[in-house]
Amino acid sequence: MSITALNSLDAGTIVQLILRGFQRHYTLFQALTQEVAEHFSKGRWQGIQKVSMARISCYDERVAETTQLLRKRMPTDDLDEALWRQVRLSYQQCLQFHPQAELAETFYNSVFCRLFERRYFNNDYIFVASTLADAIPLPLESEFRSYFPVVDGIANSLRKIIADSGLSNAFLDLTDDIKRLREAFMGRTLEADLAAHELRIDVLKAPFYRNKAAYIVGRIVTANRVYPVIVPILRRQDGQLFLDALITDAAQMAIIFGFARSYFFVDTRAPSALVRFLKQLMPNKTLAELYAAIGFHKQGKTEFYRQFLQHLQSTDELVVNAPGTKGLVMSVFTLPSFPYVFKVINDRFGHSKQIDRDTVIKRYRMVKQHDRVGRMADTLEFTDVAIPKQRFAPELLAELQQHAAMSLCYEDDLVVIRQLFVERRMIPLNVYLSYASQEDICAVMNDYGQALKDMLAANIFPGDMLLKNFGVTRQRRVVFYDYDEVRYLTDMQFRDIPEAQDDHQRYADEPWYTVGPDDVFPQQLATFALTDSNLRELFRANHAELLSAAYWQQQQQDIRAGQVADVFPYPQTLRFKRDA
């Protein structure tokens, strides 16, 4: 029996069912943003963390609902090719003036790919390439407001910006904060004496929320250049707000929107316009990174995959092993001119790894849902990724077949990877230290210790703290990227190594004291992770407390008491100075 035999499930009906599923998703998605705004106004930081976790699964839940609804009304799992070509065409026509058209395309793809086999995942049935490239773009002005100091004066324009942000709390001293803003801008720009008639200020309509801050994002336009602007707004314990800093540097803005941070919450009706605005301020950011940064991580995956396919077509390079020490759990490879690494779970891990495949997957997804505090790389998870066999270096394909055969299958001239994790490529920390200058070594070793502290404050125990499991970004920030041993900090038992009572204990090959499965001895960090004595001394000079169980135990106590640590995504030197 053909699907077309059911009058109730013609192409138009299918299109409307999928569109309604998407609209339900988007409505709920935006409602979560409004919930976060309320949590911010009340200082309910743990509430923001819970909503952040819930939002990650929101998309898959709505796709599952829509898929289930269609399956109930489809008499067969077989694809009616003529029908679904018509569905795709009709769906495309419905998106011509849709304010979230690109997201609706991705939602359609997700539903279709759950319904049918991988062999139908081509442009006849899904949107492998977006149809929106030639469509009339949504106006950027739909997402920002412009302010004209020549009319209102600079101070009043800044007051209007704050008033229009929708932040309901009273400010501690807005007049003083605006004075600080003006002084900071004049002190950092090449145009120190700008008059009111010499600039325009464009500001995105809605604040960006993340962790314990709200951010006003925009730009200052002068005759000579455009300055990106971010103003973080923090909340005191008494509920009053204050402006904390002014960021006008594009590189620093890129760090705030970086791949190692949690996703923002921002109310937007036209995401494509908002992303285009952001890309003007951060031209080195990809569409994939920007969509992910504002919470549309599924759209980020779609944009990434299109970017990858385009890159494959633009080069004859082979996919090769990624630089760095080979791991036991993952096989890691890369395309040299493409700034990402691809990770496939090995079939066997070796005796030292007391985990299985499902545990590895759960831990990678755990980090996805958690506050990454700028120290843990975002991971894109894909299934059934097809790459032409000829694009693999022969030695890499042989290694994958030897170590990760369960994750591979072959279709004609394609290698299909059943489950693939993708991360931004960084220089492994141990590799970086092998050639860096002494000044850079000091800086990144200090940042390695700070990375550990930031993760602990976020209730993350990295597990394997070897230098090879951390990377160095373009901004020389140390970021963790190997999650197979990640646990919640509060699940662990931190102990100091008991003092040996005699030479037999002192020189024993094995620990003479009991060691439980969740026991951790921070003193061993210096022994096993920092085998080089020079690195060990650099670490001790700035982070000696990390070698004591007491520090880790205190972090656990703070977390259990409901404390949410302040982790600033911008340098402390940029924060406005205030009287104590």
DSSP 230-245: EEEEEE-TTS-EEE-B
- Residue 328 is labelled as binding a ligand: yes
> Residue 143, class by beta-carbon neighbours within 10 Å (0-12 exposed, 13-18 middle, 19+ buried)?
buried
Q: Which residues pair with 470 in a beta bridge?
A: 480
Annotated binding residue 69: no
Helix axes 101-115, 81-94, angle to 10 degrees: 160
Q: What is the DSSP string of 276-305?
A: HHHHHH-TTS-HHHHHHHTT-HHHHHHHHH
Q: What is the DSSP letter of 255?
A: H
Helix extents (H) in 429-485: 429-435, 438-457
Helix (H) or strand (E) holding 519: strand 519-520
Q: By the 8 A CB rule, do 567 and 457 touch?
A: yes
For residue 265, what is the DSSP state? B
Residues 6+ apart with CB under 8 A from 514: none
CA distances from 257 to 73, 155, 285, 304 (A): 43, 28, 9, 16
Residues with catalytic function: 378
Any binding-site annotation on 323? yes
Pairing outcome for strands 493-494 and 487-488: unpaired
Q: Long-range contacts of range 66-70, CB-CB < 8 Å, 24 or more positions apart?
A: 66/17, 66/18, 66/20, 66/21, 66/22, 66/107, 66/111, 67/111, 67/114, 67/115, 69/17, 69/21, 70/9, 70/14, 70/17, 70/18, 70/111, 70/115
Q: Which residues pair with 226 in a beta bridge?
A: 221
CA distance 298 to 293: 11
Sign of the C-alpha dihedral computed for residues 105, 110, 114 and 120 taken in this order: positive
User: Does residue 344 sit in helix, strand or coil?
Assistant: strand
Q: Measure the CA–CA gap between 537 and 526, rounded to whole angstroms.
A: 9
Residue 388 labelled as part of a binding site = no
- Cα–Cα distance list, 514 to 39, 510, 520 (Å): 45, 10, 12
In a 10 Å sphere around its CB, with 0-12 CB exposed, 13-18 middle and 19+ buried, how is residue 122 labelled?
A: exposed
Q: Does 139 appear as a known binding residue?
A: no
Q: Is there a contact between 232 and 245 (Cβ–Cβ < 8 Å)?
A: yes
17, 96 Cβ separation under 8 angstroms: no
| 218 assigned ligand-binding residue | no
Residues in CB range of 485: below 8 A, 6 or more apart: 355, 363, 462, 463, 464
Instruction: Tell whether 359 is in a known binding site.
Output: no
| Helix, strand, coil % over all residues of the chain, rounded to 5 | 50, 15, 35
- Is 449 labelled a binding residue? no
Q: Per the annotation, where are the binding residues? A: 322-328, 343
- The binding site for ATP consists of 322-328, 343
